[in-house]
């Protein structure tokens, strides 16, 4: 099913990424398929260990230590999976850029931010030195760094956490990427700065027509930022839909559990719902539904029979054997507010 209204730029089909021995593999991403439309922000949400980062890293071919990646990753129709390192490098950082949770780990502490932006411009554009400097200032300005012209010669440690995150976004944008992979880009920041960075990603996506996959473990972040959302658990997708639909009317018990854990909109004295238990280890995943051990409505077949991701209505996909029981268990959304 084509799940976005926009022209599809990224079409991931049956992605599978595994580690360890061939005969007893640890499957971190298992038969994951989704699409991202031009200029669209797709949220990839799930608890820690769900396989979100490995999904993004599989797209760029930057898994260390190396995993085995199978399936298709069609970038504007071209499959990235079989490409060699040299060909991938031409796409990585240029057409597709990635930003990480911890900016200090991807910024070079010994180089000024001006030089780091310009390095990217050297690698990915034909601009001369003067034009590169002007562009670097423009980029810092674009991501909302005050007095951009005077910050080119500053080192990363001279910026606050939020400003460093902006610098990292500016570096990523230097190549005019058509897809930005953002891996929990705001998790380490306080809530006000988080909101500013998310607004920034939103306006860049809108103004530059850049598609974004925003990885987060926070449904609140999805609600505020994303056009569509894919919910991931145990390396598999459990629900995909428009943000409006999923927030208002989640179907999968795992999505419902995540939504009930949003701290906002909770009436005073309402106990916060958090999903009991912890995600399974990769070597202890059941053959059936990955969520079955923690699911409040799991039936006897759930640990053994894997539910397919099936269309419900025109724009929603859900993988669950017990959708009606889930609705009955969690009740209408209003009950939790
Ligand atoms: P998320 O980003 O959703 O928190 P990850 O994608 O980082 O989760 O990891 C998914 C699973 O893959 C985790 O259980 C993690 O321990 C496992 N994993 C990640 N990298 C490797 C590796 N190189 N070898 C084995 N397992 C790995
Ligand atoms: Mg991660």
> Domain boundaries in the chain?
8-95+179-193+216-335
Q: What angle do CA 175, 177, 110 make, to 5 degrees?
A: 45
Q: Is the CB of 51 under 6 A from ligand 1?
A: yes
pTM of the model: 0.92
Q: Is the CB of 19 under 6 A from ligand 1?
A: yes
What tokens were used for 274?
A: 């958090």
- The closest ligand to the CA of 100 turns out to be 2
Helices 191-208 and 161-173, axial angle in degrees (round to 10): 20
Q: What is the pLDDT along the chain (337 residues), one digit of tens a residue?
A: 556 778 999 999 999 999 999 999 999 999 999 999 999 999 999 999 999 999 999 999 998 888 999 999 999 999 999 999 999 988 988 899 999 877 667 789 999 999 999 999 998 889 999 999 999 999 999 999 999 999 999 999 999 988 998 999 999 999 889 999 999 988 877 888 888 889 999 999 999 999 999 999 888 899 999 999 999 999 999 999 999 999 999 999 999 999 887 665 555 555 557 788 899 999 999 999 999 999 999 999 999 999 999 999 989 999 999 999 999 998 765 544 4
Among 43, 51, 280, the mutation site with the greatest number of ligand 1 atoms within 8 A of its Cβ is 51
Homologous superfamily of 8-95+179-193+216-335? P-loop containing nucleotide triphosphate hydrolases (3.40.50.300)
CA distance 165 to 159: 9
CA distances from 24 to 19, 20, 27, 74, 282 (A): 9, 7, 9, 28, 11
Q: Is the CB of 282 under 6 A from ligand 1?
A: yes
Q: End-to-end alpha-carbon separation of the chain, Å?
A: 33
Q: Is the CB of 52 under 6 A from ligand 1?
A: yes
Q: Is the CB of 29 under 6 A from ligand 1?
A: no
Nearest CA to 290 among 272, 303, 300? Answer: 303
Question: Which residue owns the Cα nearest ligand 1 atom 20?
Answer: 54
- The closest ligand to the CA of 232 turns out to be 1
Q: Is the CB of 45 under 6 A from ligand 1?
A: no
> Collapsing DSSP states into helix, strand and coil, what is residue 9?
strand
Q: What angle do CA 257, 246, 187 make, to 5 degrees?
A: 65
- Count of beta carbons in the 10 Å neighbourhood of residue 39: 18
Q: Is the CB of 27 under 6 A from ligand 1?
A: no
Among 20, 25, 28, 60, the mutation site with the greatest number of ligand 1 atoms within 8 A of its Cβ is 28
Among 17, 43, 54, 65, the mutation site with the greatest number of ligand 1 atoms within 8 A of its Cβ is 54
């Amino acid at each position: 099913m084509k799940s976005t209204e926009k022209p599809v730029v990224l079409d991931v089909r049956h992605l599978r990424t595994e580690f360890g021995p061939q005969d007893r593999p640890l499957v971190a991403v298992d038969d994951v398929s989704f699409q991202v439309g031009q200029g669209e922000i797709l949220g990839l949400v799930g608890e820690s260990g769900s396989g979100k980062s490995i999904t993004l890293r599989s797209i760029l071919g930057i898994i260390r230590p190396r995993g085995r990646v199978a399936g298709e990753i069609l970038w504007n129709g071209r499959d990235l999976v079989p490409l060699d390192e040299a060909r991938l490098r031409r796409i990585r950082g240029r057409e597709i850029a990635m930003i990480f949770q911890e900016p200090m780990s991807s910024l070079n502490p010994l180089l000024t931010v001006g030089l780091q932006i310009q390095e990217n411009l050297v690698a990915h554009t034909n601009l001369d030195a003067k034009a590169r400097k002007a562009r670097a200032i423009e980029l810092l300005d674009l991501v909302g760094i005050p007095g951009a012209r005077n910050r080119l010669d500053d080192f990363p440690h001279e910026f606050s956490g939020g400003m460093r995150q902006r610098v990292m976004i500016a570096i990523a944008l230097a190549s005019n990427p058509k897809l930005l992979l953002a891996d929990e880009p705001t998790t380490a920041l306080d809530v006000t700065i988080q909101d500013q960075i998310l607004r920034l990603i939103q306006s860049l996506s809108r103004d530059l027509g850049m598609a974004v996959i925003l990885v987060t473990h926070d449904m609140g972040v999805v609600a505020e930022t994303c056009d569509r959302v894919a919910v991931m658990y145990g390396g598999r997708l459990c629900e995909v839909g428009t943000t409006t639909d999923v927030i208002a009317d989640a179907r999968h018990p795992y999505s419902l559990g995540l939504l009930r854990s949003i701290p906002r909109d909770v009436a005073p004295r309402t106990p916060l719902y958090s999903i009991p238990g912890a995600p399974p280890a990769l070597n202890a995943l059941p053959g059936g539904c990955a969520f079955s051990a923690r699911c409040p409505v799991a039936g006897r077949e759930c640990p053994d029979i894997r539910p397919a991701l099936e269309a419900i209505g025109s724009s929603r996909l859900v993988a669950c054997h017990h959708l009606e029981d889930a609705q009955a268990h969690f009740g209408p959304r209003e009950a939790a507010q």
